[in-house]
Structure 1
Amino acid sequence: MLYSDHHGWLKGWLHRRLGNSDHAADLAHDTFIRLLSSERTPTVIDEPRAFLTTVAQNLVSNHWRRQKLERAYLEALAQAPEPVASSPEARAILLETLFELDRLLDDLPPLARRAFLMSQLDGQTHAQVADALGISIATVKRHIVRALQRCCFADLAFTG
């Protein structure tokens, strides 16, 4: 009943935000899949459109973040020398890996995420990160360990 009563409305709502009917259809579908697969979905929803909007907005945010990450990757790839260029399959695997890392790091506190990225992507030393963020080297190390644990042990957390 929720689907049949509100799918068309949700798809239109998403289309207005995204400007693309295919993306709107995909995210409307994903919204209902998320509801069906969640153990926390209430059995009775007093305000179904407000509820659907909240779930869909989270998916829209993820969609925009994925597009931004993909654009950054493609820009970096375009600047790489020709021998570094890879096959479409390898690029797709790398993009999915980047999306997953972004999702894992998004759950970290902002300072921990920033310390990790400065260390791993910018190649800064722990002392440089500590100085830039105004924290101790020991705190930088704790942040980096926390981020590495999140990334390295993510499969264990999800498979239980």
Structure 2
Amino acid sequence: MTAPATTFDAFCRAEQAMLLRYFRRRVGRDAAPDLVQEAFMRVLRSGAFDRIDYPRPYLLRTARNLVFERSRRKAREGAVLYPFDETCDAALPPEQMRRMVELDIRRAFRPTLLAMRPRTRRIFLMSRLRQQTYREIADELGISVKSVEKHMTRALVRCRKAFAARYA
């Protein structure tokens, strides 16, 4: 380590060449002088020069931080942000996966589904397999949303009982 610096001006003159080489290797010739000045300004503004005996390690840490900040800033500037539109960009499960789930539901709950009234079964399958909303189901069948809710409640009660009996 070097001896403690007496004045900030002497410290700058002693460390300037080393710091300039450091920045040139990392960010290039054009940006290096500006970063040297910024590093010295940060050390001076922080008040660390007057408080510590050996300011060179503090200066080097400041220089390293400046390089990190610069690279982060460049990465942010180069990033392109696109607005997210949930109606168009939402992830959809693959068709094959949906088909597998459909087959599993039909296989596991086949006896339960067959025991349901035809309209209840149809509403349940429209909701679970076609993933239609209650409003869409009601509009398609010409019934109220309240009726769809009642049919779904009946179907879900039957499914829960069948599941409990099967896996209990």
Whether these two folds match at TM > 0.5 is no
TM-score, normalisation: structure 1: 0.42
TM-score, normalisation: structure 2: 0.40
Whichever of the two has the greater Rg, that structure is 2
